[in-house]
A = this chain, B = another copy of it.
Amino acid sequence: IWMDFGKNTPQRPGGLKQCFVSALLYCTGEMQQLHTHMQDKFFPLQLVEGCLRGISRVILLNNPLSGALILAALLLESPWQALLGMLGLLASTFTAIILGQDCEEVSSGLYGFNGMLVALLMGVFSSAGDWYLWLLLPVCLGGAATTFLSSSLAPVLDRWDLPVSVFPFNTVLLLYLVCTGTSNPFFPNHPAQPPGAPESINHTQLHVPQLLQGVVLGVGQIFACGTVGPSLLILVAVFLFSPILAVYALLGSGISTIAGLSMSVQHSFLYSGLSGFNGALGCMVVGVFYILSWRTHLLSIANALLSAYTDIALSNLLGVLGLPASSWAATLTGTLVLLLTGKNLKEYRIPTGKVTSPEQNLHSHKQWSAANTNATDV
């Protein structure tokens, strides 16, 4: 499609705008057209599409182009970690194929994102330096383990119509870090610092521009990116799938940073975006699983707050043992938010199997409401 688009541009400057719009429309949202288009194509191409979707699934998207943008961001951040991530993604996807998981689920990237995150974070926490090739071994094993966990947790969580989300990633990462520790002769790791460590008396003044930068970095930290460029690229990837989600990501990261300030966590946590990413995820979960309205908007803010405070608590708790809380907080509060029973919210909840982009959810909800009103009129 991009090829065609490139070819056509010079000839027809008038059609350029129209062509651009239609290409944009094609590329945004779920790109369902590409997915159906791909089903006749041969296996490697399908695999590439599935993997790219898998990358975007980490941040609650479902769009291969967003996945490609995020991959570019990761390569920009660190080629070694991007390689590890891709290996973990492939390991978990192939394990899913071997286990005989549902083809449709595999090709939409549902079994890849946990493996990718585990691999990325293994690389981030490894203190053996880049291009330490022995790390490929645990990355493959860890990726495979996430698929085992995904496959096992699915029937349990399915009883309450809950997604598996990143529970496998969080579990496997924690087990790996506890298993190896900081002084393992083969796979040594950096210890994680608790955000509210007693030695963190903040003598220095708060630096507002750095704080605002931390809000943007919070979106990048979902993929363990701590620099501005890749974080902005990831934000663009989110924007491509859904502009609403991009706003929610920034909003959640901002709320989370304020929550961090209120608990006076170390300034380095605020500046690096580490205190922002759980809030961003918490806010986005509501955006994805609930139809947009002012009620669910308030819910997303509440969940971002809850997620942020839970993250500080878990980070303090696990930090005692030198372990990171990764995205446990957002995963737990996100799961709880999907279980809410209040009737003011329940009507806005989208069944897990029917989740698409917020814009499309809103659209189909309006259509459905209109149809419903007409039906009751007659």
Contacts and interface: CB of A to CB of B under 8 A. Distances in A.
A112 to B, nearest CB: 15
Contacts of A145: 306
Interface string A321-360: 1000000000000001101111111100000000000000
A49 to B, nearest CB: 21
A264 interface: yes
A300 B343 CA distance: 37
A302 interface: yes
Contact of A175 (B96, B154, B309): B309
A141 interface: yes
Contact of A159 (B153, B159, B198, B306): B159
Contacts of A159: 159
A134 to B, nearest CB: 10
Interface residues of A, number: 58
Interface stretch (A3-11, A76-84, A178-186): A178-186
A317 interface: yes
Summarize A's interface: helix, strand, loop or mixed.
helix
A70 interface: no
The listed residue with most B CB atoms (<10 A of its CB), out of A151, A186, A341, A344, is: A341
Contact of A178 (B180, B183, B313, B343): B313
A99 interface: yes
A341 B341 CA distance: 28
B196 A155 contact: no
Given A262-B186, A316-B181, A342 B149 contact: no
Given A263-B186, A321-B320, A340-B148, A99 B345 contact: yes
Contacts of A321: 317, 320
Given A99-B342, A155-B160, A343-B100, A313 B263 contact: no
A126 to B, nearest CB: 15
A148 B302 contact: yes
Interface centre among A179, A314, A320 (most CB of B within 10 A): A179
A100 B345 contact: yes
A101 interface: yes
A99 B175 contact: no
A97 B364 CA distance: 29
Contacts of A336: 148-149, 152-153
A132 B192 CA distance: 33
B175 A313 contact: yes
Contacts of A102: 343
A321 B320 CA distance: 9
A313 B179 contact: yes
Interface in A222-280: 262-264
A122 interface: no
Contacts of A184: 196, 263-264
Contacts of A149: 336
A148 B99 CA distance: 36
Contacts of A153: 336, 339
A107 interface: no
Interface in A290-304: 302
Nearest 3 A-B pairs (CB), nearest first?
Answer: A100-B344, A99-B342, A179-B313
